[in-house]
Every structure is written in C-alpha cells, then in structure tokens.
Amino acid sequence: MKKHYILIVLCIFSVFEMQAQTPSINESQSMSYISESFTKKIDRKIKKLQDGNSKLKKQIADGKNAGNTAEFTAEVASNDTEIAALQKKKNIYGSVDPKKDYESKYNKMITDKQDTINSVYGENLKKDKISLAEIDSIYKLIAKKRQEIETLQRERDEKLAALGRFPWFFPTVKRINRKNFFHDMYSNKTDKTILLNSFALNGNSDASAVQTEVVTDNMWALRLSFGSVLSVSNSKSDDSEESPADQTKKETQQEAFSRLINGGGNFYLDMILPVFTTNQNNGDQITFYGYANLRGAMDLEGFSSNVNTSTGNGTLGLNAYLGISSDNKKFNFFVQGNTNYTVGTNEFYSNLGLHNEKAFLNGKIIAGVTMLNQFRLSAIINAFGSDEQIRSNKVVVGIQVLPGF
C-alpha cells in the first residue's frame, strides 16, 4: 500500500512547477505521548463503565424499576468483568505513570544481580580453601554480573529518557536522549540506517532537477545525510531574442541556483547538530526547532547539462523550524527558514553569475504541509542573499516524498 501511494504521488509531479524542498524534518507522535495516550484511553473507558455501574446500582436500590432488576444486575456484572479485563490490560502495558514502573522494575533487577555478587563473595569467603580454578570461576561470574548490571542501567536510563523530557538546549548531546529526539523530530530510529529518506522532482520552464536524500544516519549527537541533485536545462526556445551564448549563460546560472537551494551540488554531505527544541513529552502540537548545519557539496562535470568544470562549495548554516500538527500527526503545517554562509571555488561563483566572486550569505523561507509522514507540499516564499543573482521573490510550489526505506 505504501508503494502504491508513492507511485500515485510521482505521477502527479509533472503537474507542478517545483523547486527547493525543505529538509527531512518529519515530526511523529512522541514516544512518551504514545505510551501515555494508550493508558489514558483505558482509564477513560474504565471511568465510563464505573459511572454506568453507579447509575445502574442506584436504580436497583430505588426499586422504581423492579421488573428490570435482573437485567440491571446482569449489566453491572458484565461491566465489572470488562473493567477487570481493562485493568489487566493496563497492568500488563504499564500504569498511567510508566516512568515509575520502569524505574522500579529495572532497579529491582539491578538489586537482584548485586545481591548475587554479594552472595558469591559471602559463600566463598566462608570456605577454608579455594582453588585457583574456583577463584577464576568466581571472578568470571562477578564480571558477567557486573556487565549485566551496566546493560540494565543503560536500558533503564534510555527507557526513562523516552518517557520523560529531553533537554531544550542541545537535546542530543546525552546519548540517552538521542533515540527519543530523533524518533520525534525525524520519525526515524537510531538503530536503523535510512535509505532513500526523501525524494523530490524540482523544475520550472528553464531547468529541472531531481533531489534525493540517499542515505541518512545518526552519529553521536549529529545527524548525517548524503544526497544528490541532478539538474538539466530544458529545451531552448526558438523565439528567444537572446544569443546562444547568452542563453547558455542564463541556463548555467539557473541550474547552479537550483542546485544551490536544493542541496548545494550534484552530491552533498550534510551534518546537522540540534541546538534548541521545545519539549514533546506530552505530544505537543506546536514545535519549535533550531539547528546548525555544516555541508560540503560538489558539482561534477557531465552530471548536469551546463557544468563544464567540476566545482566545490561548503556551507555553514543556522536553521529555524516552526510546526503545528494535528492530534495524531497526520497533518503537520510548518514554516522553515535558514541563513547560510557559503564559500566555493572560482568556478562555483562563476556558474552562479555572481557580481562579486567571493563567499556570500544566502537563505530561504519555506512553508508547507506534511501528510501521513510520507508526502509533503511546500512552497518557497522567498530566497534571499547578499548577491542579486541568488535572490528570488517567486513563490514556487513543490512536492516531496519521504519513503524512509
């Protein structure tokens, strides 16, 4: 079914003019919200059944409906049975405060293993003689138990972090918070490398580009992504009054600008460091997220129609994202902006047609909506820069697919 949706969306691509998709921020329901919402639903159902029983018992006690006493009594018994089943289901899953349950559970297991170590020490100290083989066996057993304790402590901390709040500032610096944060903000798991994280077709009357985020993974506090942007100029118009040389120059600039705002070049490697975020432990519907990124990119001769010389560039950027989501994260409306400081080779500046061939500031503002964590409609509201050649006030609509295979 997932592949069918993707194929349908790809068929729609040709209808739109597309440009510069937003990065793969993809909010999902927070891990703690999913946990709490499950038990809260059970609590609401139990409360409804208990209220119903109170009314039925009151009617039985009043004696006004004596003919229905047997029916009311049977309904109360049925409700009690359902309440007991729901309580059992809730107890198996965890209480409304799963944080305390997890902490208690893991602390008990850790204490049991520590008691085992103490017991091994105590029993063997009572012996008059201990062989070298026995001593070696004792030390191996103790080392094994200590390793198991460390594993349990790490699992406990990760569970509690997932059920609690990750920090507002630098939320991924501590290892125990990374799984929770990357799940909530990117709908990804830290133990899984993502292939084909996003795919977009971008084009207008002058140039077209295919932008793909091929591989995505997390490294320590950073998020890494490798992608490609392949661009090609569209057919030249026979009615154009420009000379062939001017047309070629214009197309080269348009292609270079398209690659710049999509990913930076034919191939790029991007590193993201989350800097600030609002907490999501209650499934917040309004999220603010700020991050810094460092990107290296290159254009290779032959990969685009008007790239005659290979070029390279690097970008240091600051990014801000504001998202408003529906209750179950099926719709996520967002606005995102970034400001970058970009440096590159002389050929890189020349392809863009810059008036001053030197490092420059540039950025863009994007607004859009993500649906079902799979499809995104977005539009560039404004592209700005320190040089006139990298500014654009055109509002261009695009479509992006986030398969996350």
β-strands 331-344, 396-401 pairing: unpaired
Q: Rounded to 10 degrees, what is the CA torsion of 200, 205, 207, 211?
A: 0
Instruction: Give the residue extent of every domain in the chain.
Output: 2-28+187-401, 35-93, 98-163
DSSP-based three-state secondary structure for 372: coil
Q: List, for residues 40-87, the tens digit of each pLDDT value.
A: 777 888 888 888 888 888 888 887 776 667 677 777 877 887 788 778
One DSSP character per residue, 241-256 reads: -S-HHHHHHHHHHHHH
| Per-residue model confidence (pLDDT) at position 21 | 46
Average pLDDT in the 258-264 region? 77
Strand segments, DSSP code E, in 241-310 are: 267-277, 286-299
Q: What is the pLDDT of residue 14?
A: 34
Token look-up 């850790």 returns 110
C-beta separation of 176 from 157 below 8 A: yes
* Helix 31-62 / helix 98-125 crossing angle, nearest 10 deg: 110
Strand 286-299 and strand 267-277: the pairing is antiparallel
Q: Report, as an integer, the average pLDDT of 350-365.
A: 87
369 touches 397 (CB < 8 A): no
Cα angle 230, 242, 389; round to 5: 55
Residue-level pLDDT at 5:
46
pTM of the entire predicted model: 0.62
Query: What is the reported pLDDT for 190?
Result: 55
Contact 347, 309 (CB under 8 A): yes
- Segment of 4-13, 57-66, 127-136, 142-151 carrying the highest mean pLDDT: 142-151
pLDDT classification of 8: cutoffs 50, 70, 90: very low
